[in-house]
Amino acid sequence: MPFPIHRKRRLRVSESMRRLVRESRLDPAQFILPLFVCPGEGVRKPISSMPGNFQLSVDELVKECEGAHALGIGGVILFGIPDLKDDIASGAYADDGIVQVALRALKNAIPNLLLITDVCNCEYTSHGHCGKVIDQDGTVDNDATLEWLAASSVSHARAGADIVAPSDMMDGRVAAIRAGLDQNGLQKTAILAYAAKFASAFYGPFREAAESAPQFGDRRTYQMDPANGREAMHEMDLDFEEGADMLMVKPAMPYLDLIRQAHDRFPVPIAAYQVSGEFSMLMAAVERGWLEYERAMMESLTSIHRAGAGIILTYFARDAARLLG
């Protein structure tokens, strides 16, 4: 008598069968590609710790975004690298700031590409912190920083941002940004809140890419303790109540449990940021022959989506979209 095959095994016998019964399905439209824009022309400066990623001048950024749009990627999020930094983050909200210039160029060249901007101050302050510093341990003046964030959001929206994404972790920033946008006739601009952003070890490569490492102290006085899950839900509750249209968990893979909790708790889209350290960790293993690139990439993205993220910010967006296409 032949060995009986359980029905669960019959549903795994071929790729066609596995595809038919697959529970979680990725689509390029779910991906947001992070990009770094800098002054100059013809600039395509490799980021050593993030293979395949670059600091791009506006002209090169437009080319990169044309390719991303052609792949069906859901959108891009821009991080600015200004010429000059100061104590008041003036480059973040200047109408001729690097992100504002890039937004206008992209809206002109690719009108249907969804444009998101990171709203924070660390790339624009001389000290590398996310707000007005009041102490050498990195403590910031929360309420004074809200004015900067609202001004940046208004400036970005006027330049063409469809979504602004505050990543600073200041209390009350979503309400301040929503008020600033609405008061300036920008009611259609959505807010994607970095609602649960942890003081993570996985941000290291990003700080090279964005040239945003703090010059003293660290950001643990305002970013979240990785040990605190209930506090993360409280932070997300506050951003939701203040009017966030979408909520984000950052990083993604170490916090899959919180992505699931957010998905089950909030009636808005949930995003997750597969951050630079997650990307670079996988790439380092691939370069050493320890992992198979395409399988590791897609498994990591599938796990984030399966946990409950409908939107994934990832440096793998281009290659994953090509595979899915």
Residues known to be catalytic:
197, 250
The DSSP symbol for 19 reads H
| Cis preceding linkage at 267, omega within 30 | no
- Contact indicator for 222, 215 with CB cutoff of 8 Å: no
The span from the CA of 34 to the CA of 110, in Å, is 17
- Contact indicator for 124, 82 with CB cutoff of 8 Å: yes
Four-CA torsion 173, 177, 179, 185, nearest 10 degrees:
180
The span from the CA of 310 to the CA of 24, in Å, is 11
- Contact indicator for 149, 168 with CB cutoff of 8 Å: yes
> How buried is residue 186: exposed, middle or buried, by Cβ count under 10 Å (0-12/13-18/19+)?
middle
Q: What is the DSSP string of 210-263?
A: HT---SSS-STTTSBPTT-HHHHHHHHHHHHHTT-SEEEEESSGGGHHHHHHHH
Task: Calculate the CA 270 to chain-centre distance.
Answer: 12
* Kind and range of the H or E run holding 178: helix 173-183
